Amino acid sequence: MLGDIARLREQTPGSPDICIAVLDGQVDRSHPVLQGSSLRALWAPGDGAPSGGSAAHGTAITSIIFGQPGSGVEGVAPRCQGLLVPVFTDDEDGEVSPCSQIELARAILLAAEAGAQVINISGGEFSPDGATDPLLERAVEQCRQRGILIVAAAGNDACACLHVPAALSSVLAVGAMSRRGVPLEASNWGAAYQGHGILAPGDDIPVALPGGKKGVRSGTSLATALVSGVAGLLLSVQRSQGLTPNPEAVRRALLESAHPCPPEEGTDCRRYLTGRLNVEGALRHVLGRRPPPSPASHSHSYKGSPMSKRDLDAVDTASLGDAIRHPDLPAPFSLSPESSHSEHASGAVRPSTCHECRAELDAKSAPPAGPPAGKVYALGTVGIEFSSESRRTSIAQSMKNQDPHNLESFLEHLEANAHVAESVIWTLNMDATPIYALLPFGAYATDVYERLTEFLRDQVNGKIHRVSIPGQTAGKTVKLQSGQNLPLLLPQLRGMYSWTTEALVAKVTGPQPTDEAGKQLHERKQQRVFDFLERVYYELRNLGFTSQERALNFAATNAYQAEQVYAHALREGMELHKIDVLKSPVGLPGSDAWDVKLTFFQPEKRLERANVEYRFTVDVSDVIPVTIGPVRKWSAY
């Protein structure tokens, strides 16, 4: 199998036009194995040379893909471009700190925006039923829509159990097998992996380790990196043949060409997922020279088995000189009572949290490095957090030992002590989860603090349900007392609004007519606009980071265009089918214009009449988006 990869690499070592993103720990880019490779880091989560468990894992995974010829660790795709997006860091003991699903979603979007065609995730979160945070699920779906291939580890619990994002159907899940082509004992399987998972070599794989060291490692993390590298080579072959690189076609090729489970008696075919990596078959597939499918390729059935073992992304690493701690998938809960998964909180990629290393949020201090600066237009609610227990205790004492998490008491204290607003971490929350840390800055910082205080007060009093926060991320992160890292967002006062959904609907739909027929139509229109906003808030909720997300969120804030659409659609007796955001042909040079498309159908005549599309355009080139032109409409056949 490794020989097949070497032969493909002889045909092409990879194209610099193909970008493979590695979402992992920091990478020792000074390692001799990586000298000459084209690696670009989006940001460095800490100061100094990479070290600790996360750097060991990140360097190992990166070397499998990008290790240079003659270095002792020859990568699968050494000439492809590498994009390094750190999601794992270390605590004070050098152990891997967790990454939440929301942080992983943000990293996926960053990699997509930076031009990745393949995204390698040698980690994830243990999830018995495959349940995924909606933000992560949406980030994965955006990659699917944009033709970006995500390759993720199936996990190492030695059971029929799932990890996310590997369990999501559009992700290429990877299990590990030995050099003899049999599944490693630790490699996971499960019904969700049967249609979109393959086995790849993952036993005693040569890797680079920080500090110029080398070693061998085993597990699904390593197998995942091998498959990502093969995907990069297949995309490079497409380009060399004058074809447009197509990650989705490569994904199909890898799955459809996979060697089926061997028919030997006693073989547990559940553990082979869709099949074993077939490099030559995948190459023929992407070049349009597919052999006839094997009738046995997908004949095996799935039977579940109980979960009982902790997920470990290394096999027999104790015998190796340089221990590597893998950012494995945590186990928030389990279906089997004997498992230790229940010890860990959900929402963390690695079952380890940083309880002692705290970061203070102060306008005069330099917060830790974080994702690169970018525009944000996000929706949610306002909250407060603390950088440390000492900060929380200090504020509690100034409140005469009242709990500052009691927002009514905190607001009362804030009324008499406005300066306290600078002593807490203001957050933008989605449901109860913080997604950004807000830091007022500049000449109007005081006004922004006042606006945030007003938002919080109105939320507590039930006067508002939601706020909009536009701004620029600062390229820094802030660590909360809980250990969660949040990107630092510098809010723009002129786009900060608050509302209840009912009040926004009433504002955009206008006064109610006096005649009975007019009243009924107006009430129906109000309900439809309300439903549109609720779908954006919940079904399509997002981080407000990509251009599409900012356009959609602004459409929900400035709902006048939606009201115009519904006013016409209701007169036609039509109902909303779906909401899309597409790149718009409308817009001046230098603009970043997107069409919010609402597709309607007529329930009574669905088979007789074409759907109708309405579009309005939002330009998100500035921090505060603007709408362009009128609402447009046409039939969609």
pLDDT tens figures, 311-346? 323 323 222 223 222 333 322 222 222 222 323 334
Say whether both 195 and 286 belong to one domain: yes
540 and 486 in a common domain: no
**Do residues 207 and 119 share a domain?**
yes
Q: Is residue 363 part of a domain?
A: no
* Cα separation of the two ends of the chain: 47
Number of domains in the chain: 3
Total residues found in the chain within this entry: 637
Q: Are 432 and 474 contained in the same domain?
A: yes
420 and 307 co-located in one domain = no
Whether residues 323 and 440 share a domain: the answer is no
Identify whether 509 is part of a domain: no
pLDDT tens for 277-302 read: 999 999 999 988 655 444 443 333 32
The mean of the pLDDT values for the chain is 82
Whether the pLDDT of residue 114 is over 90: the answer is: yes
The pLDDT tens digits for 588-606 are 788 899 999 988 887 766 5
Distance CA 10, CA 164 (A): 34
CATH of the domain at 108: 3.40.50.200
Q: Work out the angle at residue 172's Cα, subtended by the Cα atoms of residues 281 and 271, and round it to the nearest 5 degrees.
A: 80
Considering the domain boundaries, does residue 366 fall inside one? no
Q: Token digits for 193? A: 């992996």
Residue 147 and residue 27 share a domain: yes
Q: Is residue 508 part of a domain?
A: no
Question: In the numeric block, which tokens belong to residue 491?
Answer: 């809010």
| 137 in a structural domain | yes
In the beta sheet, which residues pair with residue 97? 89
Question: Residues 88, 136: one domain?
Answer: yes
Q: Which domain holds residue 33?
A: 2-343
- DSSP assignment string, 385-423: E-S-HHHHHHHHHHTTS--TTSHHHHHHHHHH-GGGGGG
Q: Are residues 273 and 388 in the same domain?
A: no
- Given a cut of 60, whether residue 171 has pLDDT beyond it is yes
Q: What is the pTM of this model?
A: 0.79
Lowest mean per-residue pLDDT among 92-96, 115-119, 358-362, 524-528: 358-362
Q: Whole-angstrom Cα distance, residue 233 to residue 16?
A: 11
Kindly state whether residues 319 and 425 are assigned to the same domain.
no
Q: With beta carbons less than 8 A apart as the criterion, state whether 100 and 330 touch.
A: no
What single-letter amino acid sits at 152?
A
Residue 536 per-residue DSSP state: I
